[in-house]
Amino acid sequence: MFEKLRQIWKSKDLRKSIFFVLMMLVVFRIAAHIPIPGIDVAGLKDFFAQNQILGLLNLFSGGGLENFSIVMLGIGPYITASIILQLLTMIIPALETLSKEPDGQQKINRYTRFLTLPLAALQGYSFITLMQRQGGGQLIGDLTSFQWISAIITVTAGTVFLMWLGELMSEKKIGNGISLLIFAGIIASLPSAVQRLIATFDATQAFNLLIFLGIAIVTIVVVVIITEGQRNIPVNYARRVRGNRMYGGVNTHLPLRVNMAGVIPIIFAISIILIPPMIAQFFVSATTPWVAGGARFVVNLFQNQVFYGLFYFIMVFAFTYFYTFVVFHPHQIAENLQKQGGFIPGIRPGRHTADYLQKTANKILLAGALFLGLIAVLPIIIQPITGISSLAIGGTSLLIVVAVVIELVKQIDSQLTMRDYDGL
């Protein structure tokens, strides 16, 4: 490890890139603590601590939502826009054709940025309205038209600012900028969580704390194993003779990852879970009795830990299969292998290869879907066992942190390897 650090320090441009990324993360954390005027920040933190769904959204905003900061929406609208464009690319033939053009991906990225603006404005308006209704006017008071417009413009600009920061960091090629922003928000929340644990610690909780630490270590190990886990499908390339030269004859493998979808299914599930209670909040004070009663029923239903955990698990499990179906194309892979003279030993090329890949992927995906579902509901399972509510294991947080760290280490290693080849 020390040798790696020494190599990084000796590489001037790599050292500058790392310092640049760190400075951008510092700028992000400063922005996350600049609240919108007229907000009771202390009351908001207590409110978010008691709400599981909004706590998850706060996670993906990098902690800016609980402070109602100028970057309160985080990069959530951008992620949502990216998901929408990915799905539309699979559905609309014109977008699919555009994505295959040389500069097609750049155009789709531009469309994603444009779509982010209305999504951020709509989400900002919804959150401010929800907080007004939830707090009874104490968290957020009545706003004038000018305050409404300025608040929505501010939070929308904050999302655009974070998009820009993320792209600047991605250009340094030592990690994905968007993932690093979420990573920074998770890490920044650890000191306050530890502080709450120390403030409320009781000697009778020592055994539960040991159980908590043991489960945390096991969870991290399992997350690393699943994140790096893959099934290698053997692929052989037939030998071909052209003139006096022989081509092919290579034995390699096709990797199928256990967790192909990453954390995207969890983001999908959060979006779906958020919609019913958020809409119901707008009708709790309705004048029609049955409408108000139905709204209160929906709100209370999603506050029930058993229903919330079960529904959350099912959504993550289902979206894992859905998203993998969208991004994994066995027929296209089989066609490319056949064109390149490749084949899977014992499997006929073409449709039989595609069927084999689909069947194998479905078997692997079952483990990946169960893993993501359990990771998502892990805090709900762990809190009753340990009895420690001030420091909950965030399975989603661990998944993101581990994935970002692994990607960061791999990219830095590749940068060092490239410099070794270049003699730098």
CB 264 within 8 A of CB 246: no
Alpha helices in 203-263 (DSSP H): 206-228
Amino acid, res. 62: G
- Reported as a pLDDT band with limits 50, 70 and 90, residue 308 is confident
Residue with the larger pLDDT of the pair 141 and 393: 141
pLDDT at 392 over 80: no
CB 84 within 8 A of CB 90: no
CB 344 within 8 A of CB 353: yes
CA 119 to chain centre: 18
In this prediction the pTM is: 0.74
Kindly state the average pLDDT of the residues 399-405. Answer: 78
- What's 74's DSSP letter? T
CB 145 within 8 A of CB 26: no
CB 404 within 8 A of CB 180: yes
Give helix then strand counts, H and E, for the chain: 16, 5
Report the DSSP beta bridge partners of residue 257: 230
In the chain, the domains with their CATH numbers are: 1-199 (1.10.3370.10)
Residue with the larger pLDDT of the pair 47 and 211: 211
The per-residue pLDDT for range 173-229, each reduced to its tens digit, is 777 788 888 888 778 777 766 676 676 666 666 777 777 777 778 877 887 888 778
The per-residue pLDDT for range 4-20, each reduced to its tens digit, is 777 777 777 788 888 88
- Can you give the pLDDT at residue 64? 64
The per-residue pLDDT for range 248-275, each reduced to its tens digit, is 566 788 888 888 877 778 777 776 777 7
Per DSSP, the three-state class of 144 is coil
pLDDT at 390 over 50: no
Per DSSP, the three-state class of 97 is helix
The per-residue pLDDT for range 311-327, each reduced to its tens digit, is 888 988 888 888 888 77
Q: What would the two tokens of residue 174 be?
A: 């030592």
- Can you give the pLDDT at residue 176? 79
- Can you give the pLDDT at residue 127? 78
- Can you give the pLDDT at residue 63? 60
pLDDT at 421 over 50: yes
pLDDT at 376 over 60: yes
Nearest to 375 by CA among 351, 409, 402, 407: 402
256 vs 136: CA distance, rounded Å = 51
Q: What would the two tokens of residue 84 be?
A: 């929408």
359 vs 43: CA distance, rounded Å = 51
- Can you give the pLDDT at residue 161? 92
- What's 36's DSSP letter? P
Q: What would the two tokens of residue 152 be?
A: 């929505």
424 vs 242: CA distance, rounded Å = 39
- Can you give the pLDDT at residue 391? 46
pLDDT at 138 over 60: no
pLDDT at 247 over 60: no
- Can you give the pLDDT at residue 141? 66
340 vs 354: CA distance, rounded Å = 15
